[in-house]
Structure 1
């Protein structure tokens, strides 16, 4: 009786561990370091260009935002207009407290015009030479609200606002010939003597303060009979709610006659800021896409040439039992490693370029986290896509075809 031959056990190819995949993928880079370095350098330059463009643009935008914020993109003013019969309107005495209750409003201050008060350097100046200066009663919070700074001296405080002390606007000080305030420096305002305790720098947001003599609210009431009604109310609010604040500002300032209140429009600088943001965002996307495309083309070119040059190696590996999938995985891993090397180097180089340029321009250095993470992710994605065709081409080669190729 003849026994049946034993069943043949089907052999399956060995699986490559992740470490083996990395070693096999890095083999081509180790054997041709110059080519790998130049290819990674091409990717790095593309990624560095993208990161640097994003970083420099973000740093520039941050500096622009700071400058625009200093110009008062969130500053609104409310002042009395005219009534329906053409008379000059007035604001309620509690207007500041009412406006301060608007949720997005972060600061409120006010000035009140003192009508008929003439300003002179001394009593020896001819009455006709008033220099066109005005006297304004000012709240203590005025400098913080309008962004005013002092060129010299001090601002009004809780004590000096009740006594004949004055702070001069930049133009007022120049016209009166006063450079530095001192305890002996006096002027005549509305026939009363005031000691000059401070001089303001030019106020960009409120130029009407430059030709003004600013005195305390209380002393204005006692000396000039000021009725304590504000003629200009300055408000600061959160930038994303400026339009909403403006919509309710008139009705809040004078609920009984909102039509008698004149409210300034949101600064044109705010619109310019938004337009700049939109333009820069579009620029970043366009330049980033071009940089990634250039890097991807470089990877694809390198990997295609690598397949052509290493056909003998592919044939030998296939003859020794390597499967198509393993060959495909080898070249795909090499492409990803090459892309990762270039991507990391490009991100570091891009950050360095951004930091150097921003420091030279005295800008804040801003490199968004999404830019670095996105650059690395996009590099790997582009590298994988660029290496896919060469990997498939290498896997399609038969052992005999690869070994006999010239």
Structure 2
């Protein structure tokens, strides 16, 4: 008589919906603990999203400024002589630069040295406020893209008399909110009437903390020597590099090596690079916060295994395999991390939107930062839940049911 082997019991296969439902049991039964653990993950992800988003929004603002103002502005400044002394641009340098074919406009400012700026004559002479006095050409705003916030710019008449236009920072430090015929400031020993206040000048930020007066007025009232310290040029877009190559020799044919030529957009690029380095530092801090959140998830899962031994033993007694128990706790860890990741993305995006709106920047959060943040969250959640899941699956039914 043949012996028939008893049928082998095959454990039921769990569908994805069932796995998610069973994995969420621990979260539903201990909501406070789940919330605090997810909060640790959320803080790390929010930090990363906010840092990347604010950096990207700042970069978008720089790109918008360059697009609005143009990248064809070149500046010519005196460098140093071979003996290490400060060089000077020849008085005819502006006219010679203007003869370059692709150059469309030329203007200049000259630093008036030694002349301090005060709101009244009652202020001690040592309190200069870090302001500077510049002699400016009448066509300066058109060349550098400067706009007048209040009042008016210098013209052919006011450029010969004691009239002054203040940069945005200079007006703020002097406590002057608007131009007025009765509003005067003291430059050196001469009273100048404030006829205008500029908006911040993106491509010539040194002018923001300056007081700008006419070239003739600077020579007549303040003893200005007439030498330009910065010459601004605009060129045809497709000829900028060619113009840049000949500017030094054109401005000072006798000593081209004593002339520095730069593009304001290069300074903005350097600023962007510095911002990228700072962003890297903050991303590192966000990564540390994310790691700390992962440790919190691991701690929560270990405690959950210890507290739920009876549940694990009962499931094993009813036929659950080790793989199913392992999947349950690993799913719980992933769900906990996913909750923190989604919350962190929303929080980081909200911070970015709020800061960008406050700064009047375009809002930008790169897609890679969101996907990378969520991916990092699930990865850390998987690592954090792997050991507790394996530990839970190795408990035998009798050990789990008999251990208090």
Match of 2:172 in 1: none
1:30 aligned onto 2:28: yes
Task: Give the distance between the partners of 2:402 and 2:255, measured in 1 at CA.
Answer: 92
Q: Does the C-alpha gap of structure 1 residues 235 and 10 become closer, same or farther in structure 2, counting only changes over 3 Å? A: farther
CA deviation after TM superposition for structure 1 residue 386, in Å = 0.3
CA deviation vs aligned residue, 1:170-210 (integer Å, no higher than 9, x gap)? x85249xx966xxxxxxxxxxxxxxxxx9664675569993
CA deviation after TM superposition for structure 1 residue 308, in Å = 0.6
* 8 Å CA contact 1:21, 1:330 repeated in 2: yes
Query: Matches of residues 130-209 of structure 1 in structure 2 within 5 Å?
Result: 142-150=140-148, 151-153=150-152, 166=157, 168=159, 172-174=162-164, 201=197
Q: Does the C-alpha gap of structure 1 residues 246 and 314 become closer, same or farther in structure 2, counting only changes over 3 Å? A: farther
1:386 aligned onto 2:377: no
- Look at both structures and tell me which one has the larger radius of gyration over its CA atoms: 1
Identify the match of residue 393 of structure 2 among 375, 392, 395.
395
Match of 1:310 in 2: 308
Structure 2 gap segments, 5+ residues each:
80-87, 111-132, 166-178, 182-193, 217-227
Compute the TM-score of the two structures, normalised by the length of structure 2. 0.62
Structure 1 gap segments, 5+ residues each:
102-106, 114-131, 157-164, 181-197, 215-229
CA deviation after TM superposition for structure 1 residue 57, in Å = 5.9
Match of 1:45 in 2: 43
Match of 1:336 in 2: 334
Match of 2:289 in 1: 291
CA deviation after TM superposition for structure 1 residue 259, in Å = 3.0
Q: Does the C-alpha gap of structure 1 residues 400 and 354 become closer, same or farther in structure 2, counting only changes over 3 Å? A: same
Q: Does the C-alpha gap of structure 1 residues 100 and 255 become closer, same or farther in structure 2, counting only changes over 3 Å? A: farther
Q: Does the C-alpha gap of structure 1 residues 349 and 209 become closer, same or farther in structure 2, counting only changes over 3 Å? A: closer
* 8 Å CA contact 2:249, 2:256 repeated in 1: no
Q: Does the C-alpha gap of structure 1 residues 155 and 307 become closer, same or farther in structure 2, counting only changes over 3 Å? A: same
Match of 1:117 in 2: none
Q: Does the C-alpha gap of structure 1 residues 237 and 282 become closer, same or farther in structure 2, counting only changes over 3 Å? A: farther
Aligned-residue CA RMSD (Å): 5.1
1:259 aligned onto 2:256: yes
Query: Matches of residues 223-372 of structure 1 in structure 2 within 5 Å?
Result: 234-235=232-233, 248-250=245-247, 253=250, 259=256, 262-265=259-262, 270=268, 273-274=271-272, 276-356=274-354, 359=357, 362=359, 364=361, 366=363, 368-369=365-366, 370-372=368-370
* 8 Å CA contact 1:43, 1:346 repeated in 2: yes
Task: Give the distance between the partners of 1:135 and 1:284, measured in 2 at CA.
Answer: 42
* 8 Å CA contact 1:91, 1:231 repeated in 2: no
* 8 Å CA contact 1:96, 1:233 repeated in 2: no
SS at match of 2:146: coil
Task: Give the distance between the partners of 1:87 and 1:52, measured in 2 at CA.
Answer: 47
CA deviation after TM superposition for structure 1 residue 76, in Å = 2.9
